[in-house]
Amino acid sequence: MLNNKFYQVATESKVIPEREEISQDYKWNLTDVFKSDDEWENEFKSVSEKVSGYKEFEGKLAESAEKLLACFKYDEEVNIKLDRLHLYAMLSKDSDMRVGKYHSMDDRIKSLYAKVGAASSFIRPELLKIPDEKLKSIIDSYEALRIYKHSIDDLLRSKEHTLSNSEEKILAMASELAQTPYDTFSIFTNADLKMPSIEDEFGSTIELSHGRYYSAMYSKDREYRARVFKAYLESYKSYVNTFTVLFNGNLKTNIFNAHARNFNSALEASLHKNNIPTSVYHNLIESANQNLQPMHRWAGLKKKLLGISELCPYDVYVTVFNSHNEKKYSYEEGIEIVLNSLKLMGDDYLSSLNKAFNNRWIDVFETKAKRSGAYSSGTTFGVHPYVLLNWTDLLNDVFTLTHEMGHNMHSYYTGQNQHYPYANYSIFLAEVASTFNESLLLDHLLEIAESRKEKLFLLERYLNNLTATFYRQVMFAEFEMMVYDRTEKGESLTSEVLSDLYKSIYQKYWGPEMFVPEEEQYTWARIPHFYYNFYVYQYATGFAASEVLAKKVKTEGEPAVNKYMDFLKAGSSDYPINILTKAGVDMNSPEPVRAVCERMNQVLDEMERLL
């Protein structure tokens, strides 16, 4: 059992601890990536020297299967090392965002990515100049090339959106500049944005942080929640013009890239790379808008249960029922609960989870200037994935843990079973694995619930999770679609326009029972996912797909588990929708989305029955 006394002492003092105050057992072990910064520097130099090696292949890809294979292998070697360099720099930087050295390393990696991208930019257009049948014949004629067949088919699909060699080189060289809006947003909101000190529930003065904001939204003290909500968003309001410039810069960057590649819109360009039709995006929003009644029903019921005259945004996460809401969960307790909830996945899955828990793949606690939130690092070929947490001892942290471990296992099994070209997966698939774990965790907690109040608490937890993971993400997706649409039409998005638009869409989704205070309209300015270019809708589609898969695993047993494990191992060896179809979910059908709405009504019915 790990000893968390270091963290307890720090949190009891109401001061966010420094990183050195936390036991090594709770911090990720980066020596699995590089033994030292010096080793990183040596590898960086090695990769930098390889950039010029691409010239050997330029203009020669159609000469022979051997030459084509040599080019592919060279490109893989460079990118495998580059990805590993990036992982180390990113994790080091996110551990303490005040350390300039790691920001410099991260910046250098981005520059090196741009140089490699420019040097290798000839590959796609040169391959596309080869007649389709000849290229396919080359691939089929050489066994070592056949693993690239799906990659080549995918490349040919993008033929009309691939530019000339010189144009591709220019776009590759500009890729580093395209990161400026998000990079600026990230460093500003995580390191430079000053948060005020406020009075907590117990009358003590505490320094507000991202982690403490999220924790406060679960507090039973409504006045405290309101104080934190107002103070936190006032910080963003104070710099709303800066955030507006960054936000618009990101929109225009993505629109420029889309139009440069002959797409009709940024949405089409974003979905094209995973072969997702734009109809999936539009159908998601339309279906959700046609099924807002469960959301409005829940808002009315929650207002009644809380005994308040107005439901406000800072009321939506707090629990009404008293079964587990005051209980604190240590990290060790969270691990035990997660493992028990996933027992039906079998020994292989559980063994892989324990490998992560026991070998410091996870950075657990909030520390000074550590990156906020939580994430899994994704697949880095030849290295296990890592997870960042900011543990606050709430049940929500247990759900975050199982969510990120869903990502982690997806990345781990993909890396273990796929060749480099397919050792990754789209975000469209990523959120399936994470919300699948959450669904099984909730079912496990409901199964072991010993009282009516405990069941009510967990049903409420499910509803809070559903609104956050499904409806809230669809709301974000609709907001994102609207701001891109307006920008593409040439409309100006001032801070007032963005704030009014966000407030109106928030009101629509929550309905007439929700009172939307002024501060909520600035929430758009703090959402990092809006810089990821049509990312958030995949939370909602992933949630819908995971509900179907979790039900199959529970009802069908081992055959469904085996299909799900195949899903985790598939990586990007096929298009995302096809991989889900093999697992048992048809995302071309609106039924998964409708099933979520029907499930929400069923949970509301059960809750009202127990009340």
Integer Cα distance of 393 and 219 in angstroms: 13
* 3 state SS of 51: helix
The secondary structure of 264-288 as a DSSP string is S-HHHHHHHTTT--HHHHHHHHHHH
* Residue 257 Cα to chain centre, angstroms: 22
| Catalytic residue from among 404, 438, 460, 547 | 404
Integer Cα distance of 24 and 18 in angstroms: 13
Residues of the chain by 3-state class (helix, strand, coil), percent to 5: 70, 5, 25
Q: Which long-range contacts (CB under 8 A, 24 or more apart) does 578-584 make?
A: 579/429, 580/429, 580/432, 580/545, 583/549, 584/548, 584/549, 584/552, 584/560
* Residue 97 Cα to chain centre, angstroms: 20
CB within 8 A of 11, min separation 6: which ones?
A: 17
* 3 state SS of 524: helix
Helical packing angle, 427-447 and 558-569, nearest 10°: 150
Are 285 and 474 in contact by the 8 Å Cβ rule? The answer is: yes
CA angle (402 as vertex; 399, 408 as ends), nearest 5: 145
Q: Residue 404 catalytic?
A: yes
The secondary structure of 88-129 as a DSSP string is HHHHHHHH-TT-HHHHHHHHHHHHHHHHHHHHTTTHHHHHHH
Integer Cα distance of 438 and 450 in angstroms: 20
* 3 state SS of 73: helix
Q: Which helix (H) or strand (E) holds 198?
A: strand 197-199
Integer Cα distance of 322 and 526 in angstroms: 31
* 3 state SS of 380: strand
The secondary structure of 425-477 as a DSSP string is --HHHHHHHHHHHHHHHHHHHHHT--SHHHHHHHHHHHHHHHIIIIIHHHHHH
Q: Taken in order 128, 130, 133, 137, is the CA torsion positive or negative? A: negative
Integer Cα distance of 95 and 390 in angstroms: 11
Q: Return the active site residues.
A: 404
